[in-house]
């Protein structure tokens, strides 16, 4: 018995060592990167790494005084949140129809919707540019909102649809014999029942949208419509050469909201991703 | 309260015919059970009455009114599902309230009706819980409460007890029957369990492959099976069916010999219920295949040349395996079926 218990303990120890090492591999670069943001400029490019920094808020001061970070953050949040709302408003009824109604070509339409995800975005970059130029929406957050929504709509529809397919048909039949209309079934039965899927889809869409670079660069020709992703790429620190501590800090600020969001809804997200993988 | 009429109902799914030319007249306040093996069309029939499926041909009337083009939500029927189908995001109280809200029942009545329905199925203390926090039996009772709360014209129950364990099933069965008598609502109940059918039904409809085999009271179906399918489906264990030939007033098969009506000849199947066989006698010779004492009764299985025959022997009966045994039949309780399976004589 004792030997069994011992080998079980050793097993557990090995597991912990492997998992902790992997966690370190993932987390240490992020922490290192964060410390760069809080070092003085002189401590960054040095022959020997300095492991314990002299803490400094230089980079932070530079950001706040010289750089419209609030504007970029506002643009990012507005464009991303708006696009997610548009996606959900359009995708939920579409997913319901694709999951539940019997009509000719249902599978084809579902596949067509997904297939819009399959082409390289660069292919449509030029047409999109002219489209927005003609409707006078260049250099505007609203344009970004529409583009992000369009990019993610198929994926959001597909994720929510696979969740809806997993909701037992009996629930809907029960609601129907209880006297519910289609809209009531969607609102009172389906949406609450697949809320984890809707949250997952929204977060994935938000991650894709906040990281979107190509179209943002194309549409946002001045800093008026810059989002964090494009502003970050253009940011070098100004006339004083490349200021790495400020860049690190900006990068971290761009990265933090999504990190926090993902930690908060981790449980739903992993379930949603595997479900999408199996069913989609 | 209402009668239900199914007239020449056909339901096909592509080339597969689920229900074939069905005619059924269910009278007001009747408890009707649709019984048959899986895939026999009984659930499809029920779903057509509910309005969840539409018949390919034929008429459905509830309370005399033609229902073919009326949506499920506008028919005054309540359905209980095999998987309970409780709304997982709502409390039991809200679940029971849902049909009242959907049918615009005045709000002032809600609370009283919900509590009365919950009392009937003994769910009073659980109203604030979510379905996930209830046991299988409690969930099924919640589903029943949701069906009775709005006092529909018709109850439809689709194998409501099949997810419950045997003991709970027996007690729920009594509860359902009692409730139906009390509420006097026409009820259609689908099951593949013949005990449920026999105990609950005013009339049983036995179906196979989309076709009605027999309609009758439980007693009628038990003592006058119309064909070998019904004979082999009803009873526990079911009727023994022995294939043989009839000639000059005698039926004979390998190891078996009984008198039969003189007008029968050719290939005939003999039917005899396990309780109408007696150990000792001269109608069947065979070897003991198995002896299963259950306390009040002993099940004896006898093997003849090509067939095993089940017999309900006395509680004290014991015999070693493979010993020779002779069995007598109560010759007033024999059934004879023709080559097509239909009953041709006996009893």
Nearest to B67 by CA among B82, B81, B53, B80: B53
CATH for A68-234 is 1.10.3720.10
Nearest to A83 by CA among A202, A214, A217: A202
- B198 in contact with chain A, both atoms CB, cutoff 8 A: no
Contact A71, A223 (CB under 8 A): yes
For the stretch B284-327, pLDDT in tens is 889 999 999 998 899 999 998 878 899 998 888 888 889 999 99
Measured CA to CA, the distance from residue B46 to residue B190 in angstroms comes to: 7
Q: Which residues of B touch A170 (CB under 8 A)?
A: 81-83, 85
Is beta strand B298-303 parallel, antiparallel or unpaired with respect to B324-329?
unpaired
**Residue B176 shares a structural domain with residue B250:** no
Domain boundary among B165, B195, B229: B229
Domain boundary among B229, B249, B265: B229
B83 contacts A177? CB cut-off 8 A: no
Estimate to the nearest angstrom the gap between the alpha carbon of B154 and the chain centroid.
Answer: 18
pLDDT score, position B220: 93
A193 contacts B78? CB cut-off 8 A: no
Q: Does an H or E element contain B194, and which?
A: helix B194-200
Instruction: Point out the least confidently predicted range of A106-120, A180-194, A237-251, B93-107.
Output: A237-251
Average pLDDT, chain A: 84
Give me the CATH number covering residue B342. 2.40.50.140
Q: What is the mean pLDDT of residues A61-90?
A: 89
**Residue B225 shares a structural domain with residue B242:** no
Residue B164, CB half-sphere, CA atoms under 13 Å: how many? Answer: 23
**Residue B31 shares a structural domain with residue B153:** yes
Cα-based distances in Å from A80 to A83, A92, A146, A150, A237: 5, 18, 10, 12, 26
Please state, as a whole number, how many other Cβ atoms lie within 10 Å of the Cβ of residue B160: 27
pLDDT score, position B229: 93
> Can you give the residue ranges of every domain in chain A?
2-58, 68-234
- B97 in contact with chain A, both atoms CB, cutoff 8 A: no
- CA of A81 vs chain B CAs: smallest distance (Å): 26
Q: Which residue of A has its CA nearest to B94?
A: A188
**Residue B207 shares a structural domain with residue B91:** yes
Please name every residue paired with B80 in a beta bridge, in sequence order, or none if there are none. B157
Q: Which residues of A touch B50 (CB under 8 A)?
A: 173, 177
Estimate to the nearest angstrom the gap between the alpha carbon of A128 and the chain centroid.
Answer: 22
- For residue B139, give its domain range: 4-229
Q: Which residue of B has its CA nearest to A181?
A: B73
Q: Which residues of B touch A175 (CB under 8 A)?
A: 87, 98, 102
**Residue B11 shares a structural domain with residue B28:** yes
**Residue B293 shares a structural domain with residue B179:** no
Q: What is the mean pLDDT of residues B238-259?
A: 88
Give me the CATH number covering residue B198. 3.40.50.300
**Residue B193 shares a structural domain with residue B44:** yes
Contact A160, A194 (CB under 8 A): yes
Query: pLDDT tier at A270 (50, 70, 90 boundaries)?
Result: low
For the stretch A98-118, pLDDT in tens is 998 888 888 888 888 888 888
- A102 in contact with chain B, both atoms CB, cutoff 8 A: no
Measured CA to CA, the distance from residue B245 to residue B251 in angstroms comes to: 6
**Residue B194 shares a structural domain with residue B305:** no
Overall number of domains in chain B: 2
**Residue B222 shares a structural domain with residue B244:** no
- A220 in contact with chain B, both atoms CB, cutoff 8 A: no
Q: Does an H or E element contain B343, and which?
A: strand B343-346
For the stretch A233-251, pLDDT in tens is 887 756 667 788 888 888 8
A184 contacts B52? CB cut-off 8 A: no
Under 8 Å CB-to-CB from B335, ≥6 apart: which residues? Answer: B225, B231, B239, B270, B271, B272, B343, B345, B346, B347
CB-nearest to A177 from B79, B82, B89 is: B79
Tokens for B93, please give them: 């109280």
pLDDT score, position B198: 92
Q: Which residues of B touch A171 (CB under 8 A)?
A: 85, 87-88
With b meaning 16 or more CB within 10 Å and e meaning fewer, what string describes A47-70?
eeeeeeeeebebbeebbeeebebe
A180 contacts B87? CB cut-off 8 A: no
**Residue B148 shares a structural domain with residue B11:** yes
- B83 in contact with chain A, both atoms CB, cutoff 8 A: yes
**Residue B50 shares a structural domain with residue B118:** yes
**Residue B68 shares a structural domain with residue B163:** yes
- CA of B265 vs chain A CAs: smallest distance (Å): 52
CB-nearest to A193 from B81, B88, B102 is: B88
For the stretch A138-181, pLDDT in tens is 888 999 999 999 999 999 999 999 889 988 888 999 999 998 89
């Amino acid at each position: 018995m004792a030997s069994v218990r011992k080998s079980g303990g050793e097993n557990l120890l090995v597991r912990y060592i492997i998992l902790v090492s992997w966690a370190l591999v993932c987390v240490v670069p992020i922490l290192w990167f964060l410390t760069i943001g809080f070092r003085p400029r002189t401590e960054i490019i040095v022959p020997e790494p300095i492991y314990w920094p002299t803490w400094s808020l230089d980079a932070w001061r530079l950001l706040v005084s010289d750089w419209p970070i609030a504007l970029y953050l506002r643009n990012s949040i507005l464009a991303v949140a708006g696009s997610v709302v548009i996606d959900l408003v359009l995708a939920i009824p579409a997913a319901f129809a694709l999951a539940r109604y019997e009509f000719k070509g249902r599978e084809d339409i579902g596949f067509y919707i997904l297939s819009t995800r399959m082409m390289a975005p660069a292919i449509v970059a030029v047409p999109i540019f002219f489209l927005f130029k003609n409707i006078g929406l260049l250099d505007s957050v609203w344009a970004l909102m529409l583009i992000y929504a369009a990019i993610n709509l198929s994926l959001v529809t597909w994720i929510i649809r696979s969740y809806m397919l997993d909701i037992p048909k009996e629930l809907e039949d029960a609601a129907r014999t209880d006297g519910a209309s289609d809209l009531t079934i969607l609102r009172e039965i389906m949406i609450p029942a697949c809320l984890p899927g809707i949250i997952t889809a929204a977060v994935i869409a938000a991650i894709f949208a906040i990281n979107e670079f190509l179209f943002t660069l194309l549409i946002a020709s001045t800093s008026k419509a810059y989002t964090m992703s494009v502003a970050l790429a253009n940011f070098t620190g100004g006339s004083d050469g490349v200021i790495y501590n400020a860049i690190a800090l900006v990068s971290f600020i761009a990265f933090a909201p999504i990190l926090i969001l993902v930690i908060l809804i981790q449980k739903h997200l992993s379930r949603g991703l595997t479900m999408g993988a199996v069913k989609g | 309260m209402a009668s239900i009429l199914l007239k020449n109902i056909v339901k096909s799914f592509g080339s597969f015919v689920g229900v074939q030319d069905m005619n059924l007249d269910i009278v007001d306040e009747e408890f009707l059970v649709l019984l048959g093996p899986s895939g026999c069309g009984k659930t499809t029939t029920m779903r057509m009455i509910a309005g969840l499926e539409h018949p390919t041909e034929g008429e459905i009337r509830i309370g005399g009114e033609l229902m073919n083009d009326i949506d499920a939500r506008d028919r005054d029927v309540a359905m209980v599902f095999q998987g309970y189908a409780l709304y997982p995001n709502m409390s039991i109280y809200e679940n029971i309230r849902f049909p009242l809200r959907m049918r615009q029942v005045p709000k002032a009545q809600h609370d009283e009706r919900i509590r009365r329905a919950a009392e009937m199925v003994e769910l009073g203390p659980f109203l604030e819980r979510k379905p996930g926090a209830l046991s299988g039996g409690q969930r099924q009772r919640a589903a029943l409460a949701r069906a009775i709360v709005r006092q529909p014209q018709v109850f439809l129950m689709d194998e409501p007890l099949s997810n419950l364990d045997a003991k709970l099933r027996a007690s729920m069965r009594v509860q359902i029957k009692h409730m139906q008598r009390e509420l006097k609502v026409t009820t259609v109940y689908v099951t593949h369990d013949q005990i449920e059918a026999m105990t609950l039904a005013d009339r049983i409809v036995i179906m196979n492959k989309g076709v009605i085999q027999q309609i009758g009271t439980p007693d009628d179906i038990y003592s006058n099976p119309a064909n070998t399918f019904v004979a082999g489906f009803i009873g526990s264990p079911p009727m023994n069916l022995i294939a043989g030939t009839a000639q000059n007033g005698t039926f004979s098969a390998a190891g078996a010999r009984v008198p039969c009506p003189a007008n029968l000849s050719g290939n005939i199947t003999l039917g005899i219920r396990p309780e109408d066989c007696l150990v000792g006698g001269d109608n069947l010779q065979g070897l003991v295949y198995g002896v299963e004492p259950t306390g009040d009764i002993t099940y004896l299985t006898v093997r003849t040349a090509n067939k095993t025959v089940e017999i309900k022997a006395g509680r004290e009966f014991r015999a070693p395996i493979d010993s020779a045994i002779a069995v007598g039949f109560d010759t007033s309780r024999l059934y004879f079926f023709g080559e097509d399976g239909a009953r041709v004589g006996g009893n």
